[in-house]
Amino acid sequence: MMLSVILICFLASLLLTPVVRKIVLRFDITDKPDKRRINVVPIPSLGGVAIFIAFLIGIFLLPIDKTLMWPLVIGASVVVLTGILDDIFELKARYKMLGQVIAAGIIVFWGGINITFINLPFGGEIHFGILSIPLTIIWIVAISNAINLIDGLDGLAAGVSTIALLTIMGMAFVMGDPLVIMITAVLAASTLGFLPYNFYPAKIFMGDTGALFLGYIIAILSLMGFKNVTFISLIVPVLILGVPIFDTILAIIRRVVHRTPIAMADKSHLHHSLMKLGFTHRQTVILIYGISMLFSLFALIFTMSTFWGSFLLIFILLIVVEFFVEVLGLVSQNYRPVMRLLRMERVEHEEEQE
């Protein structure tokens, strides 16, 4: 039964995507080239609608209590509607944010999904109380926008999201959570059906419609699979979503350093920086897929590590991330503290040898 639902979702997305493409072309709903986009010709947008419809088909075919799914479906519908309006009319940031907050509020207040407490590594608990609601809403909105921010190259957001979904599904299998497994499998199949049309050279973009929708569901699935766990395990979903989260954090830091508005787009994201080094469009996407898989591998190892082993793993990961940040100039070309330190140590060593 489950395999047939997955296949139906994949085929639905595969067949619906060209239909959506024809419709949006007819109404000229396209991403036109500009200084912040990579594409040099207008590309049809709203491809996320096909992913969303395929996902809905799968949800209603799954052998689960459908009343549990209504908050998820209604919240996702609000996000998709927000994305559609933004793709067509380019909504102001505050209206776009309002739609996302409403969607997050639906899953929190109606669906009852939120992080209420975490267990500390040395004993005891931290109960968030009334803060659990705003913290959960912030998480959902942040991840939605993180996926949206990396949607800068053909197939990038769809591929990274699929890798994150498959990792969450694997974690859910280990933890024995069939509901998360089924929802994740349905969304992954729907996204994979869209990817052949979106991979370089793209015939259609998912737009904010698809990116916000994928981020919204992934954020919720990570909460469903990892809520009310230990402080260490709480880091697992952050690792799984490492690429979009770190890219978003670095974008904020970069804009603060350069004193530009946080909402202002730029061409210094991870994919832009890799292309500046000489990687082709396709090579850059595949390389970021590899980085995403590496984060997922870290997440899997993290869950099997001892307490101190987990901290050592995080320390190593942060050093590696810092090194890439400095080499690629993701904050600024002058931000290179670790590289300067290593250079100074090398110079001192050479002087001692002389």
3-class DSSP assignment, residue 204: coil
Place of tokens 């052949």: 196
Residue 346: C-alpha distances to residues 349, 350, 351 (Å): 5, 6, 9
Which value, to the nearest 10 degrees, does the dihedral of the CA atoms of residues 47, 50, 55, 58 take?
-160
According to DSSP H, which parts of the chain are helical?
2-26, 48-61, 70-89, 93-105, 132-149, 156-175, 178-198, 207-226, 235-240, 242-257, 270-276, 281-304, 307-328, 337-353
Tell which residue, 171, 169, 211, has the closest CA to residue 189.
169
The answer for residues whose C-beta is within 8 angstroms of residue 116's C-beta and 6 or more apart is 127, 128, 132, 227, 228
208 annotated to a ligand binding site? yes
Distance from C-alpha of 194 to C-alpha of 189, rounded to nearest angstrom: 9
Q: CA angle, 65 as apex, 184 and 167 as ends, to 5°?
A: 15
* Chain Cα centroid distance, residue 197: 20
148 annotated to a ligand binding site? yes
What are the tokens at 141?
């909105």
What are the tokens at 130?
């009334």
What are the tokens at 121?
């590594």
Place of tokens 């992954």: 188
Strand-pair category, 117-119 with 30-31: unpaired
Phi, psi (rounded to 5 degrees) for 271: -70, -35
The answer for residues whose C-beta is within 8 angstroms of residue 329's C-beta and 6 or more apart is 268, 273, 335
Place of tokens 């350069």: 258
Which residues make up each annotated binding site for Mg(2+)?
A: 148, 208
Which residues make up each annotated binding site?
A: 148, 208
